[in-house]
Copies of this chain bind each other. A is one copy, B any other.
């Protein structure tokens, strides 16, 4: 199979593991990739895959986040807690992708669900529990207003992840994305729609700096 040329060296170069994007890969391609990871004895995370695509490969498939994890060695523990905040139960798949990736990367996490802005008190009640987090990942669909509220209340780095939850104009997550990019709260950073995994990687980049201090 000569069309796979993994960049497993990147881990050495910048200290960030390559994560396998499963969406358009065949089961054969994924088995081959798994074999290469096995040879090197490294852990593997596949995102955006179905149970069928990874059938027969050793590891754990999570149907909610559509991720597959094969852990061979415990990941190096990262300093600092990461909070994952989300608006409603429809945002769970994206929040879960972030959580699975964070655990794969060795991060400790805390989860804050059902923080939808139509009942803003729910979010405000979590303020104290969020304070020890070093980074907040915030997932929301529909109008994507949650990071605006969060950003006015909390001082940590906030990584906003729009989710493709909604219908009519909100279908596909573009309204949430644009709402987050336009947030009147200061210093909110944004990921592509549904990119929980990328948000976890961005959190890792921040946590790595804490270690250096």
Task: Give residues in A with beta carbon < 8 Å to B.
Answer: 2-7, 9-10, 13-16, 18-19, 21, 23-25, 29, 48, 79-80, 87-90, 92, 113-114, 116-120, 122, 124, 134-135, 142-145, 148-149, 151-159, 162, 164-195, 198-206, 208-210, 212-213
**Within the assembled complex, what's the spacing in Å between the Cα atoms of A170 and B170?**
15
Chain B proximity of A84: nearest CB distance (Å): 11
Chain B proximity of A25: nearest CB distance (Å): 6
Q: Are B157 and A90 in contact (CB under 8 A)?
A: no
**Within the assembled complex, what's the spacing in Å between the Cα atoms of A66 and B173?**
23
Chain B proximity of A53: nearest CB distance (Å): 13
**Within the assembled complex, what's the spacing in Å between the Cα atoms of A208 and B155?**
8
A191-B190, A198-B187, A201-B186 known; A14+B168 contact, CB < 8 A = no
Q: Are B165 and A181 in contact (CB under 8 A)?
A: no
Of the candidates B15, B117, B187, which one forms a contact with A201 in the assembled complex, judged by CB atoms under 8 Å apart?
A: B187
* Oligomer copy total: 8
Q: Are A181 and B188 in contact (CB under 8 A)?
A: no
12 A-B pairs with CB atoms under 8 Å apart are A7-B116, A23-B165, A118-B149, A118-B152, A120-B120, A144-B179, A159-B189, A168-B181, A170-B178, A175-B178, A210-B210, A210-B213
Q: Are A186 and B89 in contact (CB under 8 A)?
A: no
Chain B proximity of A197: nearest CB distance (Å): 8
Q: Are B25 and A118 in contact (CB under 8 A)?
A: no
Q: Using CB atoms, name the residue of chain B closest to A24.
A: B90
The residues of B that contact A156 with a CB separation of less than 8 Å are 205, 208-209
Q: Are A169 and B174 in contact (CB under 8 A)?
A: yes
Q: Using CB atoms, name the residue of chain B closest to A193.
A: B168
Q: Are B170 and A192 in contact (CB under 8 A)?
A: yes
Chain B proximity of A75: nearest CB distance (Å): 15
Q: Using CB atoms, name the residue of chain B closest to A185.
A: B118
The residues of B that contact A21 with a CB separation of less than 8 Å are 88, 90
